[in-house]
Amino acid sequence: MNIRLTNWGKELDRSCPLPDYPRPQLKRDSDVNLNGVWQYAVTPGKNIPVHWEKEILVPFSPEAPLSGADRGPGKTEFLHYRRSFTLPEGFLRGRVILHFGAVDQIATVYVNNIMVTEHRGGFWPFSADITAALLPGENELVVTVQDDADDPTQAVGKQRYKSGGIWYTAQSGIWQTVWMESVPEVYIKSIRVTPEFDESRVRIEFTANTPGKTATADVLTPDGAFVAGSWFKNGVCVVPLPSFRPWSPEDPYLYRLDIRMGEDRVESYFGMRKFSYGEHEGRRVFALNDRPLFHNGLLDQGYWPDGLLTPPADEAMVFDIRTARDCGFNMLRKHIKIEPLRWYYHCDRLGMIVWQDMVNGGQPYDLLRTSILPLAGVTKLSDADPAPYGRADAASRVQYYAEMRQTVELLYNCPCIALWTPFNEGWGQFDALAAARAVRQLDDTRYIDHASGWQDQGWPEIQSRHIYFRPLRMKNDGRALCLTEYGGYILAIPEHKWCEKPFGYKVCPTPSALERDYRKLLERQVLPHIRTEGLTAAVYTQLTDVEQEMNGLLTYDREVLKIPAGTLREIHRRISFSESEDD
């Protein structure tokens, strides 16, 4: 393996990597970032070790080169972290909340030898009120983690102990920012913001740690000018916006939001936008703000050669999003991963539409149903029996629904998110229609692709197909027609390869060959499907190379764009409803 650091990894500030405020959708002015050098140990048992001889750079998992660790835990071992901290003078306002962006998979947290929380689930944030455990002066924070990437009850995403093909290096432990904030004794715990486009208003809901509290909400322009405001009644506030400015990829306008409850104040933001279905030449298509919009997207795995699941810097996330926009894409499909919240914030402010996958669990998967037959065109097998899809275990199915709810609640306020994908290619799939209905109950403002790729159970909204190895042949059946994965053309760039044996779906020996074949694919196959079948979205595989997959438009280290951005923009100009009628 040829491990290369990204340019951001080379310039990493080890004293406090990823220092930016980690939760832009619910922001306070009191935070302490705990990223940096921690002590760590790997032990066969759960008992907290006495000796701490090694160092690790948080929030990078021990398997990631940027962590500086020599190894991670085996599936039966325990990974322990330790650091000390002292509260800054004037920090304590009433309560201190300790936050973890994500810890893979099962975490137990101690402050001064007092257990303050346990959490299961490697992709979701969690927190604990640690006020009662704090001491004057220096405090000790210890985190004990157990991780098994083969556990069928857990969401694992693309991680595998034996990586290869479409599966990547498994990682463990802390992989998103650790931080603290101080809040008043009575404080806002969460908010839910819904733009009601047709009614020219925004609906805001909040929950507090003490019920029955009143609050106010002010809507502001990006530069802080007052627009409108209102009071909360029974936790709900509706603010009229009669002349609002809509959010779109061309104009990603974000309103600021200021919410006050007693001594507590939080800042947030929102975009006034509406995802719905429209009609184009008699076909059902996606619409944004009541205008048909073709979603021209890229599959985005969110992996890095030096940080694995953890981006090496805020600027690195921005680079990926800006590059996709510069190339003429208006959508990223976040594939089998939940990113740090700052990634979604940058999509919100830069105007990048996001399709969000649920993180897959279950195991093992029946290759006949999840790979072989679908690639041969058999795409509508029943999912009534969960066993072939790795969901025979009832606890795994219960866990899936809990994680689905967490995902929707975590990301609901992000204007950029247009679509939820409960299942991908049958991985961990079971009763996909029931899952889609459950997502719809949680969120009725976005699209749902119930079974991306294959094993279509007839959800009435979207027909979703993955097509590799053969020409595109899709027929509109009355639902919105989406090509949710295609392409995957390989171009291995010397000196920018992670390994010597590439994986992908078609080899292009030179950059000119890749450009030629990509142009032919879009102009001769995608564009005709827009014209004749009302194709409303296409997701090319993929944004970047990932380990052995060398089918990205960017190399894994983000140093080489394989087709010039200007060329891609020129090709993509015609991949829309407005241009599809030309010629």
Q: How far is C-alpha 541 from the chain's CA centre?
A: 17
Q: Are residues 337 and 452 in the same domain?
A: yes
Question: Does 583 reside within a domain?
Answer: no
Mean of per-residue pLDDT scores for the chain? 95
Nearest to 211 by CA among 183, 188, 177, 245: 188
3-state helix, strand, coil in the chain (%, to 5): 20, 35, 50
Q: Are residues 254 and 131 in the same domain?
A: no
Q: Is the dihedral of CA 254, 320, 250, 336 positive or negative?
A: negative
Q: What does the pLDDT read at residue 1?
A: 56
Rg (CA), the chain: 24
- Yes or no: say if 334 and 157 are a contact pair by the CB < 8 Å rule: no
Question: Does 580 reside within a domain?
Answer: no
Q: Are residues 246 and 312 in the same domain?
A: no
Q: What does the pLDDT read at residue 375?
A: 84
- Yes or no: say if 463 and 482 are a contact pair by the CB < 8 Å rule: yes
User: Which of the four pLDDT bands, split at 50, 70 and 90, describes residue 2?
Assistant: low
Question: Does 581 reside within a domain?
Answer: no
Asked which of 120, 150, 183 is the last residue of a domain, the reply is 183
Question: Does 578 reside within a domain?
Answer: no
Q: What does the pLDDT read at residue 355?
A: 98
Q: Are residues 234 and 348 in the same domain?
A: no
Percent of the chain with pLDDT over 90: 90
Q: Are residues 366 and 248 in the same domain?
A: no
The span from the CA of 435 to the CA of 362, in Å, is 15
Out of 32-41, 104-113, 148-157, which region has the weakest mean confidence (pLDDT)? 148-157
The whole-number average pLDDT for the span 94-98 is: 97
The span from the CA of 171 to the CA of 87, in Å, is 31
The whole-number average pLDDT for the span 160-167 is: 90
- Res. 583: pLDDT tops 80: no
The span from the CA of 268 to the CA of 145, in Å, is 32
Q: Are residues 253 and 301 in the same domain?
A: no
Question: Does 2 reside within a domain?
Answer: no
Percent of the chain with pLDDT over 70: 98
User: Which of the four pLDDT bands, split at 50, 70 and 90, describes residue 469?
Assistant: confident
Nearest to 204 by CA among 228, 225, 182: 228
Per-residue pLDDT tens for 355-378? Answer: 999 999 999 999 999 999 998 888
Q: Are residues 462 and 477 in the same domain?
A: yes
| Alpha-carbon distance values, 272 to 200, 241, 444, 447 (Å) | 9, 9, 16, 17
Nearest to 549 by CA among 491, 467, 486, 473: 491
Which CATH number does the domain housing residue 247 bear? Answer: 2.60.40.10
Asked which of 120, 152, 183 is the last residue of a domain, the reply is 183
Q: What does the pLDDT read at residue 582?
A: 45
Q: What does the pLDDT read at residue 173?
A: 97
User: Which of the four pLDDT bands, split at 50, 70 and 90, describes residue 581?
Assistant: very low
- Res. 6: pLDDT tops 80: yes
Where in the sequence is the domain holding 284, given as residue range(s)? Answer: 275-572
- CA geometry: angle 140, 144, 148, nearest 5 deg: 165
Which CATH number does the domain housing residue 63 bear? Answer: 2.60.120.260
Classify residue 237 by burial, with Cβ atoms within 10 Å: 0-12, 13-18, 19+: buried
DSSP string, 80-123: EEEEEEEPPTT--SSEEEEEES-EESEEEEEETTEEEEEEE-TT
How far the first Cα of the chain sits from its last, in Å, is 48
Per-residue pLDDT tens for 381-440? Answer: 999 999 999 999 999 999 999 999 999 999 999 999 999 999 999 999 999 999 999 999
Residue 76: half-sphere exposure toward Cβ, Cα within 13 Å: 1
The span from the CA of 48 to the CA of 113, in Å, is 10
Q: Are residues 266 and 378 in the same domain?
A: no
Per-residue pLDDT tens for 244-274? Answer: 999 999 999 999 999 999 999 999 999 999 9
Q: Are residues 152 and 235 in the same domain?
A: no
| Alpha-carbon distance values, 509 to 17, 256, 493, 501, 552 (Å) | 38, 49, 10, 14, 14
Question: Does 56 reside within a domain?
Answer: yes
Q: Give the total number of structural domains in the chain.
A: 3
The span from the CA of 90 to the CA of 130, in Å, is 17
Question: Does 1 reside within a domain?
Answer: no
Q: Are residues 95 and 74 in the same domain?
A: yes
The whole-number average pLDDT for the span 452-459 is: 96
User: Which of the four pLDDT bands, split at 50, 70 and 90, describes residue 349?
Assistant: very high
Question: Does 351 reside within a domain?
Answer: yes
- Res. 331: pLDDT tops 70: yes
Q: Are residues 208 and 109 in the same domain?
A: no
Q: Are residues 252 and 115 in the same domain?
A: no
- Yes or no: say if 144 and 78 are a contact pair by the CB < 8 Å rule: yes
Tell me the longest C-alpha to C-alpha distance in the chain.
74
Asked which of 165, 183, 201 is the last residue of a domain, the reply is 183
